[in-house]
């Protein structure tokens, strides 16, 4: 299997906090009341729809947190496209532990696989245009690293993990600074190496470049405007089309010559994948 890695993310802390939220002060009272402490279960996690898979190693950690010796076999690679009905993971171990961890594990895989699945659809629609799909910061608070991991599994490129890794000069920054050129000049003077500038009019392109922008975000422009901006930039810096991009429009947008197309709905609006866990006595 592909090596699973989430740099700078405390997965153990995430697992503990998620389980604690579900268990509360009383624990899994249903399982404790109905299932003998030494009962064993076998289970199979499977997908009811065709999906792109993300999050199985995280699900594994939920089960292992409650029974370190649980037997778990991950059956598919992260980022793999699987058909409806595909088995994703096999488990065998303590029944109480398995049932207690089930919802946290499934919620995580369903959410991340939903993001990866939608991302793959956009990547496939963009293929051949020369443009690359980017994700955004439109993520659920606390889940950004996981959600951006899921977009990577779907084939997108991560873009701006936070406010710290590149300047992003948007319309409100421009309004306070007085102009695009002045906002960019201040970022340059601050010694920032990567300066992304959002422009929503063609007339803003040349002032942004002249002041030192290193990346232009072309916001909510139509196809003709995108082509005009790409021509004006002439390859000096990367260009990124953004704003209201849909699956049925992304290919035409990518074909304008932009370097990137960013899509917020990948992490903001992806539906959960339909994944279940079916149990049998072990």
Active-site residue, 248 included = no
Q: DSSP letter string over 226-242? A: HHHHHHHHTTSS-EEEE
Q: Does residue 170 have an active-site annotation?
A: yes
- Cα distance between residue 185 and residue 183, in whole Å: 5
Beta bridge partners, 217, equal: 198, 240
Per-residue confidence (pLDDT) for residue 209, from 0 to 100: 98
Q: How confident is the model at residue 32 (pLDDT cuts 50, 70, 90)?
A: very high
pLDDT of 279 reads: 87
138 labelled catalytic: yes
Q: Which of 40, 137, 138, 157 is catalytic?
A: 138
At residue 7, the pLDDT reads 85
Cβ neighbours around 68 below 10 Å, total? 9
Across the range 157-165, mean pLDDT stands at 94
C-alpha 133/C-alpha 150 separation (Å) is: 13
Query: Residue 3: is its pLDDT beyond 70?
Result: no
Which of the residues 157, 170, 185, 186 is marked catalytic? 170
Q: Given this model, what pLDDT does residue 8 score?
A: 84
Is 198 a residue of the active site? yes
* pLDDT level of residue 4 (50, 70, 90 thresholds): confident
Contact between residue 181 and residue 207 where contact means Cβ atoms under 8 Å apart = yes
In angstroms, rounded to a whole number, what is the distance separating the alpha carbons of residues 36 and 48? 30
- pLDDT for position 220: 97
pLDDT of residue 219: 97
Percent of the chain residues past pLDDT 70, beyond the cut: 98
Task: Give yes or no for a contact between 267 and 243, defined as CB atoms under 8 angstroms apart.
Answer: no
Q: Render pLDDT for 44-99 as a digit per residue (tens, 0 to 9).
A: 999 999 999 999 999 999 999 999 999 999 999 999 999 999 999 999 999 999 99
pLDDT for res 280: 78
pLDDT in tens, 180-237: 999 999 999 999 999 999 999 999 999 999 999 999 999 999 999 999 999 999 999 9
pLDDT at 138: 96
Average of per-residue pLDDT across 243-259? 97
CA distance 5 to 61: 13
Mean pLDDT of the chain: 96
pLDDT at residue 27 in the model? 96
Q: Which of 60, 78, 198, 240 is catalytic?
A: 198
Give the model's confidence band at 282: pLDDT under 50 very low, under 70 low, under 90 confident, else very high: low
* Average pLDDT rounded to a whole number, residues 256-264: 98
- pLDDT at residue 2 greater than cutoff 60: no
Whether pLDDT at 281 is above 80: no
Q: Which of 22, 49, 87, 103 is catalytic?
A: 103
Average pLDDT over residues 248-277: 97
């Amino acid at each position: 299997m592909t090596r699973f890695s989430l740099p700078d993310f405390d997965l153990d802390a995430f697992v503990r906090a998620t389980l604690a939220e579900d268990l509360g002060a009383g624990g899994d009272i249903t399982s404790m009341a109905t299932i003998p402490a030494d009962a064993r279960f076998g289970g199979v996690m499977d997908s009811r729809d065709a999906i792109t898979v993300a999050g199985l190693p995280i699900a594994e950690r939920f089960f292992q947190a409650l029974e370190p010796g649980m037997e778990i076999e991950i059956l598919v690679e992260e980022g793999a496209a699987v058909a409806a009905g595909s088995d994703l993971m096999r488990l065998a171990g303590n029944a109480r532990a398995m049932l207690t961890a089930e919802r946290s594990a499934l919620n995580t895989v369903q959410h991340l696989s939903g993001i990866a699945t939608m991302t793959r659809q956009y990547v496939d629609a963009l293929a051949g245009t020369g443009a690359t799909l980017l994700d955004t910061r439109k993520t659920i608070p606390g889940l950004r690293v996981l959600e951006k991991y899921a977009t990577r599994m779907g084939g997108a490129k991560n873009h701006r993990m936070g406010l710290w890794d590149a300047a992003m000069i948007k319309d409100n920054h421009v309004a306070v600074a007085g102009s695009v050129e002045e906002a960019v000049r201040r970022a340059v003077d601050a010694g920032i190496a990567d300066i992304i500038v959002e422009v929503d009019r063609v007339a803003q392109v040349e002032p942004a470049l002249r002041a030192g922008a290193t990346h232009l975000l072309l916001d909510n422009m139509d196809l003709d405007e995108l082509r005009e901006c790409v021509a004006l930039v002439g390859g000096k810096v990367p260009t990124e089309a953004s704003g209201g991009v849909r699956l049925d429009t992304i290919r035409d947008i990518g074909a304008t010559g932009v370097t990137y197309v960013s899509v917020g709905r990948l992490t903001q609006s992806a539906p959960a994948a339909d994944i279940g866990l079916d149990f049998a006595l072990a």
